[in-house]
Structure 1
C-alpha cells in the first residue's frame, strides 16, 4: 500500500509474510468448535484479533459450563493461548452436519446487474447468521456516476459491515471482502430494454442455518488435517470432552496420539472430560488411556486438570486448561527454549480453578500422571507438573520430549536436502557436519548436559552402522544426546533412503 510521499521519496509498506516455519516449537494447533469459519480447513492465525476475524467472537452468558452454539470452549482456550504468550496457532473448526443461512434477493431489472435474482448466503455454515439483516439500496445513474448498490450487513454478535456505492457489475466480487456474506447469482440476466427504477430498497433476513454436534468422524478428520501440517508442535482439542463421551472420546484421543507419535515432533495436551467430577473418575479415565497404549503413545501426551475460571465480560467462565497451558509452554519456549519445563510457571488471565481438589485427591491424580494447575499464595495460578502420561522414565518428562521434538525438526531440516545424494563418504561427512551443527546449537543454549560437546552428544555415521553389504541406497546415522534434565540419553536413528526419504526412529 502506497504511503504519503515527499518529493523524490516514496514510502510503501507491505504485510509480513505468513509462511510456515517448521523449526519453531511454540506453534499450537487447536481442533474444536467455533461460531463460524471454514469447516475442516486448517487456518493459520497470528494473534487473537486475527482469529476473531476468521472464526468470529466467542459468545455466551458468563458462568456457562456446557457449550452451546456460539459459546464453545475452543475459542476461549485459543484466547487463553494468546493471552499467555502464544504467538501463532493453526485452527481447525470441527462441526457436525450444518446448513448455511441465506436469503433471496429478487433484484429485478436493474441497469448493469448481471442477474435478475441473487442468493445472499452466510460465508460459512452454522446457526450463527440466522436473523442477520442485509439492507440493499439501489440508486440509478446520475450526473455523479453510474448505477450503484449500497449494502449494509448486521448479524447478531458481529460488528456490522457496510459496502457503499458498489458498481452493479462488480457488486458480487466486491462483497467477497465481507466476513459475513456472499452474493451468488440465482437467476437469468434481466430482460434487455426494460427500464429499471430510479431507486429501490430491500430488507433481507438470513434464515436456514443449522448446526449439530461433531461426530467422531469429524474429529478424526481434523486430527488427520493437523498431522499434515509441518509447523504445529503443540495440539489441543478443548471441546472434545463435551462433544464425545465413552469409547468415542477415547477413540479420538488415541487417533490423535497415533497421528502424533510417528512424527516425533509435537505434544498433545489433553483436557480431562468435564463430566468427570471425582478423582476416582479422572484416575479411571487416565487408566483407560494407559490400557489402550501400545507402549509409545502416551509419551506424546500430557493432561492438565482442573479447568480454569477466566474473566468473561462482567462474570467468569469455566474454560479447559489446555489452551492456557499451551500458551505458557509457548511463552517459555521463546524466553528459555523448548527444553524448559512448564512446571512452576504462572498462568495468566485466569483467576480461579473450577474445582478445589483436597490434598489426597491431588496426590492420587499426580500418581496417575495427571498434571495439576494449583492456586498458590502470592503467585496465583501455577502449572504444577511437567510430565507426560507415560510410565516409561525415558518418555515421562515434557521438557525431555520437547527437546526431542526440537532436535527432530532441526535434524529433518539439515538432513532433508540430502535424501537424493549418493551414499558415499562425502555424504556421510556432510550429514555428520549438519547434525553436529544442530546439536552444538542446543548445547550452547544449555539444553544438553556436560561441560564439553563430546560429553553432551555423539553422532555415528560410518562403517559400523553402514556395513559394505548394506543396501547402497540406504544410509543410517545414529545420534545420542544427553539432555540437561533429566540425565537419561536420547537415542535417535536417522535413515536416509533414495526411495523413501528421511525416517526418524527413536530408540
Structure 2
C-alpha cells in the first residue's frame, strides 16, 4: 500500500485477478520429406506460408526440378485450406527417422499441431511419426495408407518396425508386408491413417495426372475445418480439393471391414464427388480416443491451459490460488462449451474443475505441488445415422435417431 500523507482523493488501479486462458492454434502442420531440390536447407524446419513460398525456397528453378511427394503434400495442404506449415527437407527415410534430423527437427516448434511425412509408408516410417507425436503429446500424425494393396484384408494387418524380410524373385530383399499394411495402434489416438491415394494434377506439371499421397490434402482439410467450425468438428464428410479420382474405389462393404480397424477411407460418390469418409484414430475401436476430433480437442485444451497458467508457479499455495485456478479454467471451458465442443445443456453438465483442499492436502503442498482435476464431456461425431421407419394405423410414422 502506498503512503498517503496529503489529504485528498486518490485513484488506484486494482487488478480484477482474472487471467483469461487463450486457445492455442491447431492448424499449423509440420511436413517431412524429400524436397524438389534435396540440397536446399536440409534438416532445417523452414516456415512456409504459401505454395509459391515453398517453390521459391525449395525449387528456385522449377524447370530443373521434379515433383516429389513432399511437394504434392504441401500443395494439397494450401489448396485445401492450410495457411502455415513447417517443412523439413530430408534426402531419404533414414534421415526422416534420425534423432535430430527429419522429425527430430520439428520438436523445437511448439506451434505445430499436425505432422505428416507424405509418401512414406514403410513400417519404420509409420512408427517414427507416431512415436514423435506420442512423445510430444501436442500434435497428431496423418499417415498415408499404401499406394496399392493386394487385397483389403491385407490392408487391415498391422505393420511393425520389425517386419520380416524375404527374397523376391530377383533375389532382392524386400518387405514382406503382403501389399501394404496398416500402421500400428496408437493407444491414445495420436495418429490417423487414410486410404487410398488420390489422383490429381502434378503441381510441377499441370498437364500430368499422378497418384498422390493424401496426407498433405488431409492436413489442409483439418485446417479448413478448424477455421470454419472449430477443432471439435470431425474433419470428415469434406471435399478433397484437387482430387480428380482415387487410386482405388473403396466399396461400402470394404469400408465396413476397414472402419473398425481405424482406416479412414477417401470415397468417390457419384453426386458428392471425392470426400473424406472416416474420422477414426489408430486407437482401439473400444477406446475413448477413437475419434480424431476428440484427440485434437484435448490436445488444444491441454496446451492452452499449460501455456496460460504460468502465473501460478511460485504463488502462495493457498485457497486464494485454488480459487484463481478454478475461476480461470472454468471461464475458458465455458467458452469452449459455448462453441459447441462440449456436450451438455449447461456448463455444469459439460465439465467440472476441482482444485481444493481434498486434492491438495498438507503432504501435497509440502511437496511444492498444486493439483487441479478437470473432467470434460466432448462432443463426438454422428458416425452412424439411423432412420427407423414403421407404420401405424394412421399411416406412415418416422422416428429419427442420430
**TM bin (shorter chain):** 0.7 to 0.9
Distance 1:441 1:404, change over 3 A: same
1:369 positional shift: 1.2
Equivalent-residue separation in structure 1 for 2:280 and 2:304 (angstroms): 23
Q: Shift of residue 258 of structure 1?
A: 2.5
Structure 1 residue 237, shift from structure 2 partner: 0.4
Indicate the RMSD between aligned Cα atoms, in angstroms.
2.7
CA distance in 2, matches of 1:341, 1:263: 22
- What corresponds to 1:233 in structure 2? 113
Q: Which runs of 5+ in 2 are unaligned?
A: 1-21, 162-180, 383-402
Q: CA deviation at 1:327?
A: 0.7
Q: How does 1:140-219 map to 2 (within 5 A)?
A: 214-215=94-95, 217-218=97-98
What are the Cα deviations for residues 27-73 of structure 1, in whole angstroms up to 9, with x where unaligned?
Answer: 11111110233111111111111111111179699xxxxxxx73310
Corresponding position of 1:85: 81
Candidates 210, 223, 238, aligned match of 2:103: 223
Q: Give secondary structure in 2 for the equivalent of 1:443.
A: helix
Q: Kindly indicate whether residue 306 of structure 2 is the aligned counterpart of residue 310 of structure 1.
A: no
1:344 paired to 2:237: yes
Q: For the pair shown, which has the larger CA radius of gyration, 1 or 2?
A: 1
Q: Distance in 2 between matches of 1:477 and 1:214?
A: 42
- State the match for 1:266 in structure 2: 139
Shift of 1:292: 5.7
What TM-score does the superposition give when structure 2 sets the normalisation length?
A: 0.76
For 1:265 and 1:257, the matched residues in 2 are separated by: 12
Segments of 5+ residues of structure 1 without an aligned counterpart are: 1-20, 62-68, 97-212, 242-248, 488-507
- State the SS of the aligned residue for 2:299: helix
What's the counterpart of residue 49 of structure 1? 52
Q: In 1, Cα distance between the equivalents of 2:91 and 2:142?
A: 21
CA–CA distance in structure 2, aligned partners of residues 420 and 262 of structure 1: 27
SS of the counterpart of 1:91? strand
Q: Which whole-Å CA distance do the structure 2 matches of 1:374 and 1:429 have between them? A: 50
Matched positions, count: 335
After superposition, the C-alpha distances for 1:239-293 in whole angstroms (9 at most, x for unaligned) are: 322xxxxxxx323422322232244321111011335443233212468898965
Matched residue, 1:163? none
- Alpha-carbon distance change, 284 to 259 in structure 1, aligned in 2, over 3 angstroms: same
Per-residue deviation, residues 323-380 of structure 1 (Å, max 9, x unmatched): 1111111101000000001121111111100122344433322232100000112221
TM-score, normalised relative to structure 1: 0.61
Superposed displacement of residue 441, structure 1: 1.2
- Tell me if structure 2 keeps the 8 A contact 1:461–1:476: yes
Contact preservation (8 Å) 2:127, 2:160? no
Change (3 A) 1:280 1:251: same
Instruction: Decide whether aligned partners of structure 1 residues 215 and 24 sit closer, same or farther in structure 2, where only a CA change above 3 A counts.
Output: closer
Q: Is the 8 A contact 1:387 1:396 kept in 2?
A: yes
1:448: which partner in 2? 342
